[in-house]
A and B are shown apart, each in its own frame.
Chain A
Amino acid sequence: MEENEKSESDQSTEFLQLLASHDRALSLYVYGLVPHQADADDILQQTKMVMWRAFSQFELGTNFIAWARRIAFHQILSYRRKRKRDHLPLSDEMLDQVGEQIAEITDQEYQRKQALQSCLNHLKADHRKMMLMRYEDEMEVDEIARKIHTTPGAVYRALSRLRLSLLDCIRNRLKSETSLP
Chain B
Amino acid sequence: MKPLTQATRARFILLCERSRDQPLPSSETAELNSLLKDHPELVKTMAESLLIDAELRRDPRLLQEMKTTPQEARGPRNIIPIFALGAAACLFLGLLVFQTLRQAETDKSSPGVAILSKSTNCRWASSTIPTAEGSHVPAGKLELVEGLATIVFDSGAEISLEAPATLEIIDKMNARLISGTLVADVPPTAIGFTIDTKDATITDLGTRFGLSTDEQGKYLVQVIEGLVEVDHKGENNIRQVTEGKSLDRGLLEKKKNPGPSVSEPTRWQPDPAFAQADGWKNVPTSFGKGRDTYVTSDPNQLGKGDEPFFRVKQTTIQPNLVRVGFLAFDISGTDSAGVSEAELILNIEPSDLGFASLVPDSEFTVYGLTDEAADNWSEKDLKWENAPALDPTMVNLKTPEPGKAVPLGKFLVPRGVQRGTRSISGSALADFIRSDTNGTATLIIFRDSDETAKAGLVQAFSSKENAVNPPPILRMKTD
Contacts and interface: CB of A to CB of B under 8 A. Distances in A.
A177 B53 CA distance: 22
Given A1-B355, A135-B63, A32 B14 contact: no
B56 interface: yes
A115 interface: yes
Interface residues of B, number: 75
Interface stretch (A47-55, A64-72, A74-82, A165-173): A165-173
Contacts of A35: 20, 50, 53
Contacts of B455: 1-2
Contact of B14 (A89, A114, A156): A156
Given A2-B454, A4-B321, A132 B47 contact: no
A94 B36 contact: yes
Contacts of B355: 1
A8 B318 contact: yes
B262 interface: no
Contacts of A128: 66-67, 71
Contacts of A114: 79-82
Contacts of B21: 140-141
Contacts, number: 196
Contacts of B298: 4
B54 A9 contact: no
B293 interface: no
A3 B317 contact: no
B48 A167 contact: yes
A163 B52 contact: yes
A42 interface: no
A17 B243 contact: yes
Contact of A89 (B19, B79, B353, B454): B19
Interface string B332-356: 0000000000000000000001110
A157 B55 CA distance: 22
B79 A177 contact: yes
A116 B55 contact: yes
B246 interface: yes
A1 B320 CA distance: 14
Contacts of B18: 156
Interface of B: 9-10, 13-14, 16-21, 23-24, 28-29, 32-33, 36, 43-60, 62-63, 65-67, 69, 71, 73, 76-77, 79-82, 188, 207, 210, 212, 220, 222, 225-226, 243-246, 252, 256, 298, 316-321, 353-355, 454-455
25 contacts: A3-B321, A4-B318, A8-B317, A10-B317, A13-B244, A16-B225, A20-B243, A21-B226, A40-B57, A88-B19, A89-B29, A98-B43, A98-B46, A102-B51, A111-B81, A113-B59, A118-B76, A118-B77, A125-B71, A131-B66, A136-B60, A156-B18, A160-B13, A160-B17, A163-B52
